[in-house]
């Protein structure tokens, strides 16, 4: 029993269930979209499928990410204790975990309409291919935004049977948001990434990283404000947007000296940014 428990613990580490920040960063944009698509009254089957799918696909994404980075993680201080990097789990197991979790998520999507099923295929491709992008582009963060935000068009598809132009406004906002928060994350690994030749927006921006992150934050907030106009949201939503802006300013304070620990804390703080946006949307519909 002890051996089984130890093994299960390694799978928890592989899928990062002990570190749920990734779940939150996928969950909040999905909930933005679901509440907007349903005018604040989501279908509960859709809600349950999407929440479960968020957890499953983020966990699957971590498994395939560690498979892709199995020869890199051992050279990065922050990741050298991951299961594949220290040999506690082998590459085949990681791929199997990715496949099983993806299939379970796809099984849940089969309960929904045809458009959502078709969109989910794109979602699996994005999740599977994202981990390899850092080898080819300095902007893997943008690709991450697409992968993490693909639940946005899926939520509209599931709830309404169509994906309106306004949904892509939210999708674009999520890409800029991911560029901001994942560049904060990349600052923590910049020195190691430079040594091993891994690309990131933090490396691309160099000493202009804070400015770049700030511009991405402004773009995120601007696109969300425009989306609020298109969806007819009121004062409560914009109050949430102002609160999110406050968290964005705090994140700029945390990264002011590029300290790795504080930059990682700034990354984690984005959980509250996303929560503020959702709270503004949900309460805005509630008080009408």
Q: Residue 48 phi/psi, 5° resolution?
A: -65, -45
Cα–Cα distance, 4 to 7 (Å, whole number): 5
DSSP type of residue 74: G
Vertex 200 angle, CA 172 and 265, to 5°: 80
Q: What is the pLDDT of residue 50?
A: 98
**Cα–Cα distances in Å, from 138 out to 142, 187, 200, 240?**
9, 13, 4, 32
Is residue 50 within 8 A of residue 34, CB to CB? The reply is: yes
Q: What is the pLDDT of residue 2?
A: 66
Residue 24 has pLDDT above 70, yes or no: yes
- In this prediction, residues 215-224 reach a mean pLDDT of 98
Q: What is the pLDDT of residue 6?
A: 82
Residue 138 has pLDDT above 90, yes or no: no
- In this prediction, residues 40-44 reach a mean pLDDT of 96
pLDDT in tens, 170-193: 999 999 999 999 999 999 888 877
Q: What is the pLDDT of residue 197?
A: 78
How many Cα atoms occupy the beta-carbon half-sphere of 90 within 13 Å? 1
- In this prediction, residues 32-44 reach a mean pLDDT of 97
Q: What is the pLDDT of residue 76?
A: 81
Question: How would DSSP label each residue in 197-241?
Answer: T---HHHHHGGGHHHHHHHHHHHHHHHHHHHHHHTT--HHHHHHH
Vertex 179 angle, CA 281 and 23, to 5°: 55
Residue 148 has pLDDT above 90, yes or no: yes
Sign of the dihedral defined by the CA atoms of residues 210, 184, 144, 205, in that order: positive
**Per-residue tokens: 158:** 């599931």
Cα–Cα distance, 16 to 236 (Å, whole number): 34
- In this prediction, residues 64-71 reach a mean pLDDT of 89
Residue 106 has pLDDT above 70, yes or no: yes
3-state SS, residue 163: coil
What is the rounded average pLDDT for all residues in the chain?
A: 93
Q: What is the pLDDT of residue 226?
A: 97
* Range of lowest pLDDT (42-46, 80-84, 176-180): 80-84
- In this prediction, residues 198-202 reach a mean pLDDT of 84
Q: What is the pLDDT of residue 250?
A: 98
- In this prediction, residues 264-288 reach a mean pLDDT of 97
**Per-residue tokens: 271:** 């959980």
Q: Name 102's Cβ contacts closer than 8 Å, sequence gap at least 6.
A: 56, 57, 60, 124, 127, 128
Residue 132 has pLDDT above 90, yes or no: no
Q: pTM for this structure?
A: 0.94
Q: What is the pLDDT of residue 288?
A: 81
Q: What is the pLDDT of residue 1?
A: 63
Q: What is the pLDDT of residue 51?
A: 98
Cα–Cα distance, 121 to 260 (Å, whole number): 36
Cα–Cα distance, 70 to 222 (Å, whole number): 38
pLDDT-derived band at 47, boundaries 50, 70, 90? very high
Residue 162 has pLDDT above 80, yes or no: yes
80 versus 1: which is more confidently predicted?
80
Residue 251 has pLDDT above 70, yes or no: yes
């Amino acid at each position: 029993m002890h051996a089984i428990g130890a093994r299960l613990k390694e799978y928890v580490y592989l899928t990062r269930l002990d570190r749920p920040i990734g779940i939150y960063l996928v969950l909040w944009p999905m909930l933005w979209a679901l509440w907007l698509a349903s005018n604040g009254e989501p279908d509960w089957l859709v809600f349950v499928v999407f929440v479960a799918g968020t957890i499953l696909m983020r966990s699957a994404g971590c498994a395939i990410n560690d498979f892709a980075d199995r020869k890199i993680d051992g050279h990065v201080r922050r990741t050298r204790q991951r299961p594949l990097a220290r040999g506690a789990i082998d590459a085949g197991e990681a791929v199997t975990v990715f496949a099983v979790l993806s299939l379970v998520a796809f099984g849940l999507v089969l309960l929904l309409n045809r458009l959502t099923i078709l969109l989910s295929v794109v979602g699996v491709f994005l999740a599977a291919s994202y981990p390899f992008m850092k080898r080819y582009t300095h902007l893997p963060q943008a690709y991450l935004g697409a992968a993490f935000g693909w639940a946005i068009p899926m939520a509209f598809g599931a709830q309404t049977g169509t994906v309106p132009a306004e949904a892509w406004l939210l999708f674009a906002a999520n890409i800029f948001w991911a560029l901001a928060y994942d560049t904060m994350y990349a600052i923590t690994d910049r020195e190691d990434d430079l040594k091993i030749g891994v690309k990131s927006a933090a490396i691309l921006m160099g000493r202009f990283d804070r400015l770049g992150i700030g511009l991405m934050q402004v773009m995120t907030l601007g696109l969300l404000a425009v989306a609020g106009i298109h969806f007819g949201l009121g004062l409560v939503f914009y109050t949430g947007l102002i609160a999110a802006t406050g968290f964005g300013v705090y994140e700029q304070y945390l990264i002011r000296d590029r300290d790795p620990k504080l930059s990682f804390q700034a990354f984690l703080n984005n959980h509250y940014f996303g929560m503020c946006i959702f709270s503004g949307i949900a309460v805005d519909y509630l008080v009408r």
